[in-house]
Amino acid sequence: MKICWISDFDVTGSGYLNITVPLCAGLTHNGHDVKVVGLQYHGEEHPFEFSVIPAQTLQESLAVAQNLWGLWKFDVMIVALDIPIQNSFLSSMNNRPFPYIGIMPIEADPLCVTWAMSLMQMNRVLIISEFGKNEARKLSVDASHIPIGIDINAWKMPTPEERKKLREAQNIDDDTFVILQVADNQERKNLSAAMEIVSGFSQEKKVKYMLVTRENSQVGWRLRDYAQVMKINSITSIYERGIQFATLWSLYAVSDLFLLTSKAEGLGMPILEAMACGVPVAGTDCTAIHELLDEGRGILLPTIHKYVDPFGNGHRYFIDVPKSIDIINYYYENRDELKLMSEISRKYVEGRTWEKTVLHLEKALEYIRNEQTQKQNQQTNPPSINVAG
């Protein structure tokens, strides 16, 4: 099939980029003709077999898609973006002549009715968590869960020798407990709570806290200022989002615990990355984080409060900092349980292959193909009308 794919393609760091690239590569490998309209893509060189067309704004991406339709007549449009942006696309496509598949997260409950109505305009709705699919179905949206994969060969577990050398290169001794967090510097990720947990946990221990984020985000915390307030500046290292893959992998490889304090998550790709690298994960017990860490795959940290956020009227869950400190202290003293947890989670991610994700997407494409064939047959052979005499 000819596929017009629209998504964020910011090569400096984007969750949608991490989904788009393996899915489009898989579709191309399976014989589909894919052209990606990449938001925030500036024409950088890339190794992919599919085409990527730059677009800096939503209106520009729509114009590119319209040109592709006129010149190329694609069979289906696939849009992988947040629901509000998908709604903008759908509102600009009155009487669109092509099928539309949406791929997106639902990061919080409940799904508001307005957003559900947008989803109902799509030919197929693919949600990247079981939690999100269930929320959509509560409002009668015919959604399915597309299980996002993880490349366990790229996100490999370090050997003991590799881990030892990497820790030595970063001046991390055997007694230092390393906590890693990979999260954007914005409200939903709740980075201040993570710093408060690290501050409380690190008392009378050798701890190193590593944070991969956007330090100078205009909508985020002044991180070094708050680290100073929490008295963890000396143990905190901040890395800018978009660092080289090898560097990012090395941070996972030297870590003893991955911490995610988000108030809501539609999936949590860094959780899967940590699991693949053999790093135990502690995360807020809410939304899609729960399904990833449930059944012994991670440490679910309790919440103490929630409120309704303006973004889609969804709940935001606040992690209980004192209880979280106590829980992490427990696992710090019981490392064997952390080891068992990492073994369970590693087996879990081994089953989440991109081949399975592509297969799920191709089932949606097959649905579209059959739907289009039925329409064509109805137009070619209109039903006869029996008139009573």
Query: Vertex 236, ends 331 and 166: CA angle to 5°?
Result: 75
CA dihedral 244, 248, 254, 258 (to 10 degrees): 170
Q: Which fold has domain 160-350?
A: Rossmann fold (3.40.50)
What does the pLDDT read at residue 45? 86
- Nearest C-alpha neighbor of 144 from the set 156, 136, 152: 136
Task: Report the distance separating Cα 361 and Cα 378, nearest Å.
Answer: 26
Letter for the amino acid at 96? R
Q: Which fold has domain 2-149+353-380?
A: Rossmann fold (3.40.50)
Rg (C-alpha) for the chain, rounded Å, is 23
Q: For residue 114, how many C-alpha atoms fall within 13 Å in the half-sphere facing its CB?
A: 11
Instruction: From residue 168, give the alpha-carbon distance in Å to each of 109, 161, 163, 175.
Output: 44, 11, 9, 12
| Lookup: tokens for 384 | 């006869």
Is the pLDDT score of 98 beyond 60? yes
Domain 2-149+353-380 matches domain 160-350 at the CATH topology level = yes
DSSP state of 73: -
Domain ranges of the chain: 2-149+353-380, 160-350
Is the pLDDT score of 379 beyond 80? no
What does the pLDDT read at residue 11? 81
Q: For residue 213, how many C-alpha atoms fall within 13 Å in the half-sphere facing its CB?
A: 29
Show the 3-state SS of 16-59.
HHHHHHHHHHHHHHCCCEEEEEEECCCCCCCCCCCEEEEECCHH
What does the pLDDT read at residue 337? 97
| Lookup: tokens for 77 | 């449009």
What does the pLDDT read at residue 385? 37
| Lookup: tokens for 215 | 């330090």
Is the pLDDT score of 389 beyond 70? no
What pTM was estimated for this model as a whole? 0.93
**24-78 residue pLDDT tens:** 999 999 999 999 999 999 988 889 999 999 999 989 999 999 999 999 999 999 9
| Lookup: tokens for 352 | 């989440």
Mean pLDDT of the chain: 94
